Amino acid sequence: MKAISFFFYLTLTQVVNAQTALSAAPMSNNFDLLQDRKEKTIKSGTYFGLQSGRFYVLEYGWERQRKVKQGFLDHNTTALHHGLNVTYDFSRLNPVLGYDLGFWRRTGNFDLTYGLNAAIRTDLHQLRIGICPTIGIKVWQLHVQTGMYLLAPFYAFNNATFNSNTFFISARFLLVQEKKERPASPPKGA
């Protein structure tokens, strides 16, 4: 009987202490205690990629990812990247060099990535500039994307210019060289 009453005494004192701590904290902090705290991870490094469309393109660049984690399934990842790419147009026996600058975002742990790139292509005689919307999936450090380059002047309307990939699928692998983890900050007033 003494063991049961001692157990109830310990349980009751813990409940009273918890209630006292919550009531002593300011009202705005009560909600902070109930919310999950955010953890941030920032990764950056170089990536290597292969793009396949009408032509094969080798890619090399740099990417910085910022991941905010709140709970198990609620992850937001945003990334900025820029890189060089090179292809060889066998139909015209001419190399095509390019540069991409863009970003992508994933709004969940298992969701698709959505991005937009600005692109420049040259065959060392002419220049084409455009944009490229992308959609993809990222698993670990491998990012597989598909998209469509909209480069002006458009090749279909101007046979005097060089051709480049329009629709493509690419696979990029990020080699993480720097990783900073920022743990969840404690709630205010704790």
- Would you call 22 helix, strand, or coil by DSSP? helix
pLDDT at 1 over 70: no
Residue pLDDT, tens place only, 138-186: 998 999 999 999 999 887 677 777 888 899 999 999 999 999 988 766 5
Q: How do beta strands 127-139 and 94-106 pair? A: unpaired
Please tell me the predicted confidence (pLDDT) of residue 74: 73
CB 131 within 8 A of CB 109: no
**Residue 178 neighbours by CB distance under 10 Å:** 9
Please tell me the predicted confidence (pLDDT) of residue 73: 67
CB 29 within 8 A of CB 188: yes
Please tell me the predicted confidence (pLDDT) of residue 137: 95
Please tell me the predicted confidence (pLDDT) of residue 163: 81
Residue 104: name the closest of 96, 95, 112, 113 by CA.
113
pLDDT at 40 over 70: yes
Please tell me the predicted confidence (pLDDT) of residue 72: 66
Q: Compute and round to an integer the Cα radius of gyration of the chain.
A: 26
CB 151 within 8 A of CB 167: no
Of 16-20, 70-74, 126-130, 144-148, the range with the lowest mean pLDDT is 16-20
CB 70 within 8 A of CB 184: no
Of 43-47, 57-61, 71-75, 177-181, the range with the lowest mean pLDDT is 71-75
Mean pLDDT within 121-142: 93
Of 28-37, 50-59, 62-71, 131-140, the range with the lowest mean pLDDT is 28-37
DSSP output for 148-184 = E-EEES-GGG-TTSPP--SEEEEEEEEEEEEEEEEPP
Reading the block at residue 26, the tokens are 């300011």
* Better-predicted residue by pLDDT, 149 or 35: 149
Residue pLDDT, tens place only, 62-108: 999 999 987 766 788 999 999 999 997 777 777 899 999 999 999 87
Residue pLDDT, tens place only, 113-124: 999 999 999 988
